[in-house]
Structure 1
Amino acid sequence: MCNHPTAPSLLIHSGEVERFDRGGGVATLPYVGKWNSQTASITTGQTVFQPGNGLPLHSHDVEESVLVLEGEATAEIDGETFDLAAGDATWVPAGVPHRFLNRGDGVMRIYWVYGGRDVTRTITATGETFEHLSVHDKGGAPVS
């Protein structure tokens, strides 16, 4: 017999997930709805970046793991820059400034996992903090 809380559904199909448009050629598909209860310890999803787009430098209050599913990324993490391709992964500790940029000619998709259910994002340039994927969590922009 299973000893963990019963979830409404243990499967999440991409067609059932609401797309979160972050503006500037960046959209997120958060896979957190049906099964994510108060006891869940992760938040997960996928973000799609159009060519030449990325997110501003920011940090989270929890650790983040990122896997590049498609395309070519430049990751800036704590002042260091790394080139990533499909199949590459990275990890960002809580509170560390980072961003991901699409450096390729096609779409870039990343799969992310946060080590927490309630995640905040702090924009490095402004110090503004808000709930992840809230109405205020926009900020996709062309890479300059």
Structure 2
Amino acid sequence: MTILPPQPNLLITPAAVEPFDRGNGVVTIPYVGKWNCAINRVTTGQTQFEVGTGLPLHSHNVEETVLILEGLATAQIGDDHFDLVAGQATWVPAGVPHRFFNRGDGIMRIYWVYGGRDVTRTITATGETFEHLSEHDKGGQSNP
């Protein structure tokens, strides 16, 4: 089987989007390429975690796929905890509480893809729901 590379107009290229500082050493960089239109219905980007940081337990209204680009991630998906290293990926169904945090000794970077464009985040502890990457969507944690 031969796998052809994507056409140049399908490559993911970061747009002129400012990094989204979540606080406490967690920064998200949303990617928007010209391929990412209403028809494709996908939201994608990258998040970098300093040592000992993560996001609070939360869920989304759409499914999410996460690929570890660098470092060691400890994932909590529902009640399960497991480690992922660079090159490994996992999937989170819509509505399932989850979080990823950096338990390694260096930077951790993840690449994420949501199966939708109108993504919301619900914080498990408070039940608050807000638009993904909105002003309310902050909240990096140290030592989660």
- Bin for the TM-score computed over the shorter chain: 0.7 to 0.9
Deviations 1:36-73 (A, max 9, x none): 32223111100000000000000000000000000001
Measure, in 1, the Cα distance between the counterparts of 2:14 and 2:38.
22
Aligned to 1:124: 124
Q: How big is each residue's C-alpha offset from its partner over 1:70-116, in whole Å with a ceiling of 9 and x where there is no partner?
A: 00010000011011111111000000000000001100000000000
In 2, Cα distance between equivalents of 1:53 and 1:128? 21
What SS class does the counterpart of residue 69 from structure 2 fall into?
strand
Q: List gaps (5 residues or longer) in structure 2.
A: 1-8
Identity of aligned residues (%): 73
How far is the alpha carbon of 1:17 from its aligned partner? 3.7
SS in 2 for 1:94: coil
Distance of 1:12 and 1:77 partners within structure 2: 27
Residue identity opposite 1:70 in structure 2 = E
- Mapping for residues 19-58 of structure 1, pairs under 5 Å: 19-32=19-32, 34-58=34-58
TM-score (norm 1): 0.88
State the partner residue of 1:5.
Answer: none
Q: What is the CA RMSD across the aligned residues, in angstroms?
A: 1.6
Structure 2 counterparts to residues 1-144 of structure 1, below 5 A: 10-14=10-14, 16-32=16-32, 34-144=34-144
Aligned counterpart, 2:4: none
> Residue 50 of structure 1 aligns to which amino acid in structure 2?
E
Amino acid at match of 2:124: T
Q: Higher mean Cα deviation, 99-108 or 29-38?
A: 29-38
| Structure 1: tracts of 5 or more residues without a match | 1-8
What is the number of equivalent residue pairs in this alignment? 136
Counterpart AA for 1:72: L
The one-letter code sitting in structure 1 at the alignment partner of 2:84 is L
**Cα distance between partner residues in 2 of 1:58 and 1:134:** 15
Cα distance in structure 2, aligned partners of 1:118 and 1:33 = 16
- Separation of aligned partners in 1, 2:11 and 2:93: 28
Cα distance, 1:35 vs structure 2: 4.1
d(CA) in 1 for partners of 2:27 and 2:140?
A: 8
- SS of the aligned residue for 2:56 comes to coil
* 1:102 aligned partner, one-letter code: N
